[in-house]
C-alpha cells in the first residue's frame, strides 16, 4: 500500500477545559475521497486547519510528504491585498500551472475576474475562493463547507468538477447529496476522537447509529459491574488481603472510567408553537408579475397554496425567490395580477440573512425579547435556560452577544425564535445554512409533523426531497413553473436541473444577497470564451497523444501469446484501448464543434 500523502497521528488540541481534539487521526492517500463529519463544534474545521498547517496542534504529529501540493478552502476567504478577483485567483497558482484554467474556472462560475474583492457577495466570494484552490490542481484539496452560499447550478457544477479532479479530497459539508456523490470514505469526529469508515457518506448514519448503540450497551455493562463490585466491597472484604487490594484498585479504575466517559452530545429539541388552524386556502396568486426596472422577476405566475402544503422554491441566486415569497405572503404588492391571503393565516419565518437578529442582543434577550426569564412555546411557558439547552446552548452563553456566536449558533438561534412564534404558515428562507446534519434531521421531522403550511427556499437537494410536496422552479425571464414532488421528482419531470443565468454577473450592481434584484438579460456571445480558446489550442495535441496511445495499445494486444501468458493484462489493455478510443472520439467531436463555432463568429 502506498504511503499517505498527509498523516495526522494522535492529534490533541485544548483551549482550556475539555480537549477539543484528543487523539484524533487523519490519513490521506493519493486520489482518496474523504468526508469529515461530526456535530457543530466537534472540531471538524479545526482538524482541517491542522491538516493544512494553519494551526499548531497541542500534541501529536503531522506528516506531510515532501513535494506534495495542498490547497485549503477556508469558510471565510481572505482577499486583503488584492485589487481584483483574478489577481487573487492567480496568486494561488504555482510556477508551471495553467493560467488559462484560472480564467476558465472563473468564467464557468459566472465571474469575469475584474470584480473588486471588497464588494463581493457571499456567493461571489465563495466562487472566487473555489477558483483559486481548484486552479492549480493540487495533490490534496481540503474543502471546508465548499457549497456555502452557492446556488444549485454552482453546486452541481462543483460536483462535476470534483468528480473529474485527480486531487485527493477531504470535504466538510452539511449537504448530504454532495457528500454522497463525492465521498468514498468517512471520518467521524466525536468527543475529540476520530473513527474511520471505509465507505462513503451514504453508509455513515447507519454505521454511526450502530456504534452509539454498542456504546450504550457497553455503558450498561459498566454500570452493572460497578454495582457488583460495590456489593462485594460491602459484604465480601474478608478474603485474602492481596486480592482485596487489587479489587479495590479495579473498582476505583471503573469509577474513574465512568466519571471520565465523555457522553454523546445531546440532540436539539424542536417544538413548534402552532396557532389556530388556517382556512383551507392559505394563499392564491393569479397572473402576478413583478418588475424591477424593465426586468421581469415574476411574470404571469399563478398558484394556489392550500393548508398543509409544503412548497419549495428553487433557482439560481438572483432569480427572485425571496421576491416570490414576499409576493405570496403579502409583504409586497405585484405590479400586475392579484394575491389573496386566506383567513386566519399567522406567519412565522426565518430569513436568509438573519436580519431579524440584533447583534447587540444577548442570547437570552433574543429568546425572551428582553422580558423576564421565560419563553412561551408549544402552548406552555418554558424557562429560557431550558429552551437554550434544547438548542444545544450552554447556560453560560445566556449573556453572550449575538455578534460573538458562530454561523451555526446564529442559525440555531433564529430557528429557536421562529419556532417559538405561534403560526400556521412557516416561511423558511435558506434554513439549512450552517446547521449540522443532526439538526437538519430534526428540522425535517418537525416540518413533517407541522400541522400548518410551509414555504421554503433551499439549495439543499436532499432537504427538499425530504420535506416538500411540490417545487416551484425559476425557468428564466421571470417565468416560474410548479412541479409535483421533491427535487428529484422535478428532475425526472423537467429532464434537467436548475439552470444557471445566461448573464455573467449582476450581483455587483445590487445589494449582496438581495434575491429581489432584477435578473439580467442574456447577452449574445460575440467571442469565444477563455475555456473554448484554450480547448482549441490544446485539443489537437490531445488528439495526437490519443492516436499514439491507441497505436501502442494495439501493438501490445496484437501479440497472440499475450492472452495465454497474462489474461489479466490482456483484459486491462482491451479496456484501456476502449477508453482511449472513446476519449479520442469525444475530443474530435469537441474540436469540430469549436471550429464550427469559431467560423460562425468570424463570419458574423
26, 157: one domain: yes
475, 559: one domain: no
Predicted local distance difference test score (pLDDT) of residue 429:
84
Overall pTM surpassing 0.85 (yes/no): no
Instruction: Spell out a b/e string for 336-372, using b for 16 or more CB atoms within 10 Å of the CB, else e.
Output: ebebebbeebebbbbbbbbeebeeebbbbbbbbeeee
Is there a domain that residue 451 lies in? yes
- Domain span including residue 576: 530-603
Predicted local distance difference test score (pLDDT) of residue 594:
74
448, 315: one domain: yes
- Of 93-107, 254-268, 392-406, the poorest mean pLDDT is in 254-268
Q: Which of 199-213, 222-236, 261-275, 400-414 ranks highest by mean pLDDT? A: 199-213
State the CATH number of the domain containing residue 122. 3.40.50.300
Q: Is the pLDDT of residue 442 over 80?
A: no
Q: What share of the chain is helix, strand, coil (3-state, %, to 5)?
A: 45, 20, 35
Is there a domain that residue 156 lies in? yes
Helix (H) or strand (E) holding 36: strand 33-37
- Please report which confidence band the pLDDT of residue 351 belongs to, taking 50, 70 and 90 as the band edges: low
Predicted local distance difference test score (pLDDT) of residue 202:
92
- In 3D space, the residue among 234, 113, 200 whose CA is nearest the CA of residue 508 turns out to be 113
238, 140: one domain: no
Q: Which three cell numbers stand for residue 422?
A: 405561534
If one compares 30 and 264, the residue with the highest pLDDT of the two is 30
Is there a domain that residue 287 lies in? yes
187, 128: one domain: yes
392, 412 contact by CB (below 8 A): yes
The alpha carbon of 270 is separated from its chain's Cα centroid by a whole number of angstroms, namely 22
340, 406: one domain: yes
- The strand pair at 168-172 and 140-144 is best described as parallel
Q: Is the pLDDT of residue 28 over 90?
A: yes
- In 3D space, the residue among 424, 420, 319 whose CA is nearest the CA of residue 379 turns out to be 420
Please give the Cα distance from 439 to 408 (Å, whole number).
10
Is there a domain that residue 265 lies in? no
38, 188 contact by CB (below 8 A): yes
β-pair partners for 289: 336
Please give the Cα distance from 490 to 24 (Å, whole number).
42
193, 226: one domain: no
- In 3D space, the residue among 515, 94, 536 whose CA is nearest the CA of residue 324 turns out to be 515
CA distances in angstroms from 410 to 403, 405, 406, listed in the order given: 9, 6, 6
CA distances in angstroms from 337 to 188, 328, 332, 364, listed in the order given: 52, 12, 13, 43
DSSP helix/strand/coil, 428:
strand
**Among the residues of 236-293, which ranges form H helices?**
241-260
If one compares 504 and 397, the residue with the highest pLDDT of the two is 397
- Of 17-26, 171-180, 208-217, 402-411, the poorest mean pLDDT is in 402-411
167, 290: one domain: no
Is there a domain that residue 101 lies in? yes
Q: Is the pLDDT of residue 510 over 70?
A: no
- In 3D space, the residue among 61, 72, 47, 45 whose CA is nearest the CA of residue 8 turns out to be 61
- Please report which confidence band the pLDDT of residue 244 belongs to, taking 50, 70 and 90 as the band edges: low
- Say how many CA atoms lie within 13 Å of 550 toward its Cβ: 14
CA distances in angstroms from 140 to 73, 143, 185, 516, 585, listed in the order given: 11, 10, 15, 39, 31
Please give the Cα distance from 480 to 475 (Å, whole number).
6
Predicted local distance difference test score (pLDDT) of residue 50:
95
Q: Is the pLDDT of residue 264 over 60?
A: no
Is there a domain that residue 269 lies in? no
432, 534: one domain: no
- The mean per-residue pLDDT over the stretch 487-492 comes to 88
State the CATH number of the domain containing residue 549. 1.10.287
Of 509, 538, 562, the position where a domain reaches its end is 509
Q: Which residues contact 467 (CB under 8 A, 6 or more apart)?
A: 310, 312, 444, 447, 448, 454, 456, 486
Predicted local distance difference test score (pLDDT) of residue 394:
78
352, 457 contact by CB (below 8 A): yes
Provide the mean pLDDT of the chain: 81
Number of C-beta neighbours around residue 391 at 10 A: 19
117, 166: one domain: yes
Q: Is the pLDDT of residue 357 over 90?
A: no
Give me the number of domains the chain comprises: 4
- Please report which confidence band the pLDDT of residue 238 belongs to, taking 50, 70 and 90 as the band edges: very low
Is there a domain that residue 519 lies in? no
Of 478, 509, 540, the position where a domain reaches its end is 509
244, 348: one domain: no
CA distances in angstroms from 74 to 40, 78, 147, 175, listed in the order given: 16, 9, 12, 17
**Among the residues of 112-238, which ranges form H helices?**
122-135, 152-164, 176-182, 204-235
Is there a domain that residue 324 lies in? yes
448, 501: one domain: yes
What are all long-range contacts of 355-358, with beta carbons under 8 Å and residues at least 24 apart?
356/414, 356/417, 357/402, 357/410, 357/413, 357/414, 358/402
Q: Which three cell numbers stand for residue 406?
A: 458562530
Q: Which of 176-180, 462-466, 588-592 ranks highest by mean pLDDT? A: 176-180
If one compares 195 and 600, the residue with the highest pLDDT of the two is 195
Amino acid at each position: 500500500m502506498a504511503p499517505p500523502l498527509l498523516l495526522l497521528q494522535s492529534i490533541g488540541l485544548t483551549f482550556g477545559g475539555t480537549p477539543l481534539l484528543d487523539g484524533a487521526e487523519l490519513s490521506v492517500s493519493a486520489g482518496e475521497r474523504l468526508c469529515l463529519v461530526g456535530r457543530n463544534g466537534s472540531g471538524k474545521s479545526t482538524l482541517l486547519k491542522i491538516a493544512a498547517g494553519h494551526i499548531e496542534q497541542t500534541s501529536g504529529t503531522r506528516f506531510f510528504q515532501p513535494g506534495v501540493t495542498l490547497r485549503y478552502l477556508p469558510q471565510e476567504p481572505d482577499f486583503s491585498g488584492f485589487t481584483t478577483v483574478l489577481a487573487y485567483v492567480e496568486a494561488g497558482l504555482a510556477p508551471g500551472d495553467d493560467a488559462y484554467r484560472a480564467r476558465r474556472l472563473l468564467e464557468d462560475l459566472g465571474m469575469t475576474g475584474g470584480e473588486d474583492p471588497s464588494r463581493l457577495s457571499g456567493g461571489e466570494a465563495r466562487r472566487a475562493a473555489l477558483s483559486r484552490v481548484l486552479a492549480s490542481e493540487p495533490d490534496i484539496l481540503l474543502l471546508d463547507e465548499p457549497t456555502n452560499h452557492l446556488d444549485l447550478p454552482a453546486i452541481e457544477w462543483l460536483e462535476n468538477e470534483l468528480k473529474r479532479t485527480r486531487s485527493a479530497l477531504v470535504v466538510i459539508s452539511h449537504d448530504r447529496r454532495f457528500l454522497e456523490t463525492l465521498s468514498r470514505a468517512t471520518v467521524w469526529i466525536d468527543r475529540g476522537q476520530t473513527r474511520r469508515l471505509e465507505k462513503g457518506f451514504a453508509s455513515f448514519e447507519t454505521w454511526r447509529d450502530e456504534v452509539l448503540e454498542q456504546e450504550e450497551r457497553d455503558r450498561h455493562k459498566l454500570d452493572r459491574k460497578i454495582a457488583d463490585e460495590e456489593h462485594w466491597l460491602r459484604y465480601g472484604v474478608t478474603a485474602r488481603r492481596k486480592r482485596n487490594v487489587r479489587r479495590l484498585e479495579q473498582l476505583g479504575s471503573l469509577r474513574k472510567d465512568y466519571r471520565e466517559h465523555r457522553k454523546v452530545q445531546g440532540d436539539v429539541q424542536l417544538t413548534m408553537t402552532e396557532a389556530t388552524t388556517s382556512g383551507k386556502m392559505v394563499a392564491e396568486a393569479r397572473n402576478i408579475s413583478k418588475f424591477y426596472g424593465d426586468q421581469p422577476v415574476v411574470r404571469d405566475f399563478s398558484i394556489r397554496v392550500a393548508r398543509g402544503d409544503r412548497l419549495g422554491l428553487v433557482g439560481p441566486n438572483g432569480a427572485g425567490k425571496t421576491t416570490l415569497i414576499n409576493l405570496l405572503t403579502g409583504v409586497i404588492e405585484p405590479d400586475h395580477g392579484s394575491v389573496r391571503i386566506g383567513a386566519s393565516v399567522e406567519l412565522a419565518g426565518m430569513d436568509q440573512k438573519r436580519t431579524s437578529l440584533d447583534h447587540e442582543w444577548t442570547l437570552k434577550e433574543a429568546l425572551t425579547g428582553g422580558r423576564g426569564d421565560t419563553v412561551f412555546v408549544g402552548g406552555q411557558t418554558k424557562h429560557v435556560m431550558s429552551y437554550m439547552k434544547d438548542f444545544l446552548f450552554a447556560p453560560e452563553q445566556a449573556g453572550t452577544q449575538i455578534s460573538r456566536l458562530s454561523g451555526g449558533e446564529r442559525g440555531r438561534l433564529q430557528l429557536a425564535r421562529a419556532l417559538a412564534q405561534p403560526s400556521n404558515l412557516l416561511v423558511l428562507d435558506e434554513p439549512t445554512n450552517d446547521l449540522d446534519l443532526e439538526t437538519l434531521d430534526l428540522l425535517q421531522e418537525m416540518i413533517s409533523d407541522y400541522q400548518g403550511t410551509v414555504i421554503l427556499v433551499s439549495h439543499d437537494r436532499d432537504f427538499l426531497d425530504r420535506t416538500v410536496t411540490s417545487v416551484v422552479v425559476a425557468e428564466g425571464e421571470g417565468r416560474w413553473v410548479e412541479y409535483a414532488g421533491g427535487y428529484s421528482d422535478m428532475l425526472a419531470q423537467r429532464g434537467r436541473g436548475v439552470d444557471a443565468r445566461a448573464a455573467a454577473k449582476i450581483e455587483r450592481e445590487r445589494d449582496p444577497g438581495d434575491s429581489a434584484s432584477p435578473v439580467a438579460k442574456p447577452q449574445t456571445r460575440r467571442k469565444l470564451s477563455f475555456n473554448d480558446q484554450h480547448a482549441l489550442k490544446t485539443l489537437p495535441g490531445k488528439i495526437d497523444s490519443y492516436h499514439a496511445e491507441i497505436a501502442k495499445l494495439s501493438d501490445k494486444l496484437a501479440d497472440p501469446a499475450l492472452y495465454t501468458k497474462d489474461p489479466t493484462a490482456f483484459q486491462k489493455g482491451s479496456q484501456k484501448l476502449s477508453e482511449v478510443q472513446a476519449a479520442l472520439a469525444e475530443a474530435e467531436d469537441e474540436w469540430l464543434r469549436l471550429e464550427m463555432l469559431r467560423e460562425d463568429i468570424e463570419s458574423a
